[in-house]
Amino acid sequence: MPTEKTRQAPAIGPELSAQRPAPAPALTLLASLLGFALIMLDASVVNVALPSMGADLGGGMSGLQWVVDAYTIAFAALLLSTGALSDRIGATRAYTLGIALFTLASAACGLAPNLPSLIGFRVVQGVAAAIVLPTTLALVRQAYTGPAQRGRAVSLWAAGGTTAAALGPVVGGALTTAWDWRAIFFINLPLGLFALALTFRLPRSPRRPAPLDLPGQLTAVLTLAALAFAVIEKGPVALTALGVAVAGLAGFLRIESRHPHPVVPLGLFRNRTAAVAVAAGSALSLAFYGMIFVFSIYFQQVRGQSALTAGLMFLPMTGLLVVVNILSGRLANRYGPRLPMLTGQLVSVAGLLLLLFVGPDTSLVLTAVLLVPLALGAGLALPPLTAAMMETVPTERAGVAAGVLNAARQVSGGLGVAAFGALVAGGFGTGLRTSLLISAALLALTALATTRLPRGVARQAAPAEVGRPRADAAPEPSRTPA
Mean pLDDT of the chain: 82
Note the pLDDT of residue 446: 96
Residues with Cβ within 8 Å of residue 159, at least 6 apart in sequence: 322, 325, 479
Contact between residue 286 and residue 416 where contact means Cβ atoms under 8 Å apart: yes
Comparing 289 with 454, the larger pLDDT belongs to 289
pTM for the model stands at 0.81
Is the separation of the CB atoms in 210 and 88 below 8 Å? yes
467 contacts: CB under 8 Å, gap ≥ 6: 259, 260, 261, 262, 265, 400
For residues 225 and 126, the answer to whether their CB atoms sit within 8 Å is no
Domain CATH code at residue 447: 1.20.1250.20
Contact 129, 448 (CB under 8 A): no
The answer on pLDDT for 63 being more than 90 is no
Q: Are 234 and 61 in contact (CB under 8 A)?
A: no
CA-to-CA separations, 16 to 19, 21, 124, 145, 293, in angstroms, rounded = 5, 9, 34, 16, 47
Q: 463 or 416: which carries more pLDDT confidence?
A: 416
Q: Give the pLDDT confidence score for residue 456 in this predicted structure.
A: 60
What gap in Å lies between CA 91 and CA 136, rounded to an integer? Answer: 8
Q: Would you say residue 240 lies in a domain?
A: no
Q: List phi, psi (to 5°) of 363.
A: -55, 135
Q: Is residue 224 part of a domain?
A: no
Inform me whether the pLDDT recorded for 344 exceeds 90: yes
Position 264 in a domain: yes
Assign 370 to helix, strand or coil: helix
Please report whether residue 235 resides in a domain. Answer: no
Q: Classify 405 as helix, strand or coil.
A: helix
The verdict on residue 321 lying in a domain is: yes
Among 97, 45, 95, 37, residue whose Cα is nearest residue 67 = 45
Q: Are 314 and 170 in contact (CB under 8 A)?
A: yes
pLDDT for residue 81:
81
Q: Is residue 111 part of a domain?
A: yes
Is residue 471 scored above 60 in pLDDT? no
CB neighbours of residue 24 within 10 Å: 17
**Mean pLDDT, rounded, for 1-15:** 40
Model pLDDT, residue 270 = 87
Is the separation of the CB atoms in 457 and 336 below 8 Å? yes
Residues 359/362/365/369 CA torsion (nearest 10 deg): -50
- CA 116/CA 385 separation, integer angstroms: 38
Number of domains in the chain: 1
Contact between 275 and 246 under an 8 Å Cβ cutoff? The reply is: no
Q: Is the pLDDT of residue 475 over 50?
A: no
Mean pLDDT across the stretch 302-307? 90
Nearest 10 degrees: Cα torsion 62, 68, 72, 73? 20
Task: Name every residue whose Cβ is closer than 8 Å to that of residue 115 and which is 6 or more positions away in sequence.
Answer: 53, 57, 58, 59, 63, 66, 67
List, in order, residues 6 or more apart from 81 with CB less than 8 Å away.
212, 213, 217, 263
Instruction: Quickly count helices (H) and strands (E) in the chain.
Output: 20, 0
- Least confident window among 113-122, 138-147, 283-292, 358-367: 138-147
Confidence of residue 205 (pLDDT cuts 50, 70, 90): confident
Least confident of 215-229, 272-286, 445-459: 445-459
User: Confidence class of residue 181 from pLDDT cuts 50, 70 and 90?
Assistant: very high
Burial 144-179 (b: 16+ CB within 10 A, else e): beeeeebeebbbbbbbbbbbbbbbbbbbbbbbbbee
Question: Is the model more confident about 114 or about 265?
Answer: 114
Residues 144 and 155: their CA atoms lie apart, in Å, by: 12
CB-CB neighbours of 394 under 10 Å: 14
Q: Is 120 a residue whose pLDDT tops 90?
A: yes
pLDDT-derived band at 395 (thresholds 50, 70, 90) equals: low
The residue among 283, 387, 375 whose CA lies nearest residue 322 is 375
Q: Residue 284: inside a domain, yes or no?
A: yes
User: Given this model, what pLDDT does residue 351 score?
Assistant: 95
By residue range, what is the domain housing residue 120?
21-201+208-213+259-466
Tell me: the pLDDT tens digits for 11-29? Answer: 434 433 334 444 468 888 8
- 151 vs 102, higher pLDDT: 102
Q: What is residue 159's predicted lDDT score, i.e. its pLDDT?
A: 73
Q: 181 to each of 41, 57, 110, how far by Cα in Å? A: 15, 11, 8
Report the C-alpha gap between 231 and 463 in whole angstroms. 34
DSSP annotation string for 132-161? HHHHHHHHHHHH--SHHHHHHHHHHHHHHH
Is 381:284 a contact under the CB 8 Å cutoff?
Answer: yes
Residue 219 lies in a domain: no
